[in-house]
Amino acid sequence: MTSQKNAAILLRLGRSNVDQWTRWVWNPSHTHPMDGSDYCFHRPYRARLSDRMLKSMAVTGVDLGSSCRIILIYNMNLRQIEYALAVARERSFNRAAFACHVSQPSLSVAVKALEEELELPLFERSRNEIKVTPQGLRVLEQMRRALEEVQRIRLIARGASDPLSGPLRLGAILTVGPYFFPSLAAAFHTVAPRMKLLLEENFTSVLTERLKRGDLDAIIIAYPFQEHGLETLPLYDESFLAAVPAGHPWEHRTDLRGDDLGRTELILLGKGHCFRDQVLEICPECMRMDETSGGVRHIIEGTSLETVRHMVATGVGVSVLPLSSVNSLVCNLPTCPARDDLLVRYVPFAHPAPSRRVALAWRTSYPNHDAITALATAARNSIPRGSLPIEAK
């Protein structure tokens, strides 16, 4: 507040110009406004503004001269910020309300009140689509950071007694999660028995966006991966194997190379999977086939590695799989090497065999470093069989 004995203070009644501001003379020596009137400081509410109340509010001032000051009183709360971020994430007020466990009208009113207070539309509303406005992008990013700092405060307070408690939200790419999660979950429970591991699988692009927004605490991805504001820790290298039907001419080959894949019917994951791109990189001819309409006859797409495996078993074509999907706890069907009646044979590539490096990624600003350390320890203790662990530096 101003230090002058008597200050002219203007309290805004709505989104309007200065002519519609209400003038109130406040004396610092008094505990209440001189006229004792009620003033509207936020459209949905009314309250008697006392010296103590003003000092307890977050205020910013703009000097207009030696005798008066405009006071902007911001009454936004964390719940409104959470709602706005949910709308930005879901691109839908209905889905955002469902995610926040609140009714859609309540959420809409809260977001609208926030926009009015900021004098800024955060969203473009239409019948079928919700878009974030260009100005809203910067505001929402700052809101996300603010919520993260609030989380940091809570974690610091909780961490004084036990930093390894509460939930940890972990995502993994679709070609890693099904084969790494079984052993990782058990290892993590041993390292941090009071933490709950919330797991999900998705494409690299989706996981990255969810990690940046704070919807996830950490993700497991494959290199190459470089994103601003994220740190990574390499976990292990795993080689690729060719999967062929039983009795295929390649079954006993020891000199198989990536270029050979371009001379047969090849089954790959659909576009969006980073593993698809990694397979195409070892076969330049396959990449050309993928980029031309004529290649449609030679590349067949599957929705998951298990779907691809089963198509190989029926003789549709050949494919490439990561080693973890072969030496896996879930690989116990006739298409897996755990059974004698194999329908699929796995052929190693000639040296140097193609491979990928799997890593853990998290936000640089993530406050619970103990949880990330525990997760990294559990991951290193549960490396898939046959993979080469990356030694910690």
CATH of the domain at 106: 1.10.10.10
In a domain, 224, yes or no: yes
Bridge partners of residue 9, in order along the sequence: 24, 69
Residue with tokens 């058990």: 186
309-329, pLDDT tens digit by residue? 999 999 999 999 999 988 654
pLDDT band at 99 (very low <50, low <70, confident <90, very high): confident
Q: Which pLDDT score, from 0 to 100, does residue 56 have?
A: 40
In a domain, 20, yes or no: yes
Structural domain span for residue 47? 7-73
The answer on 32 and 98 residing in a single domain is no
Question: What is the average pLDDT across 271-280?
Answer: 90
The answer on 197 and 96 residing in a single domain is no
In a domain, 55, yes or no: yes
Closest CA relative to residue 81, chosen from 149, 150, 132, 144: 144
Q: Which pLDDT score, from 0 to 100, does residue 206 have?
A: 93
More confidently predicted of 197 and 336: 197
The answer on 188 and 278 residing in a single domain is yes
> In sequence order, which residues have a C-beta less than 8 Å from that of residue 49 and are 6 or more positions away?
11, 24, 33, 39, 41
Averaged pLDDT of the chain: 77
pLDDT above 50: residue 267? yes
353-369, pLDDT tens digit by residue? 899 999 999 999 888 88
- Rounded Cα gap, residues 182 and 177, in angstroms: 8
Kindly report the pTM of this predicted structure.
0.65
Q: Which pLDDT score, from 0 to 100, does residue 54 have?
A: 43
Compute, in degrees rounded to 10, the torsion defined by CA atoms 194, 200, 205, 211.
-20
The number of domains in the chain is 3
In a domain, 1, yes or no: no
Answer with the one of 53, 73, 93 that is the final residue of a domain: 73
- Rounded Cα gap, residues 196 and 289, in angstroms: 45
The answer on 143 and 90 residing in a single domain is yes
Q: Which pLDDT score, from 0 to 100, does residue 158 have?
A: 66
In a domain, 222, yes or no: yes
283-298, pLDDT tens digit by residue? 887 777 655 544 444 6
- Rounded Cα gap, residues 91 and 182, in angstroms: 33
The answer on 299 and 195 residing in a single domain is yes
Judged by DSSP in three states, 128 sits in coil
Answer with the one of 22, 38, 73 that is the final residue of a domain: 73
299-312, pLDDT tens digit by residue? 888 889 999 999 99
pLDDT band at 392 (very low <50, low <70, confident <90, very high): low
The answer on 195 and 132 residing in a single domain is no
The answer on 379 and 241 residing in a single domain is yes
In a domain, 2, yes or no: no
The answer on 319 and 218 residing in a single domain is yes
More confidently predicted of 38 and 215: 215
The answer on 293 and 261 residing in a single domain is yes
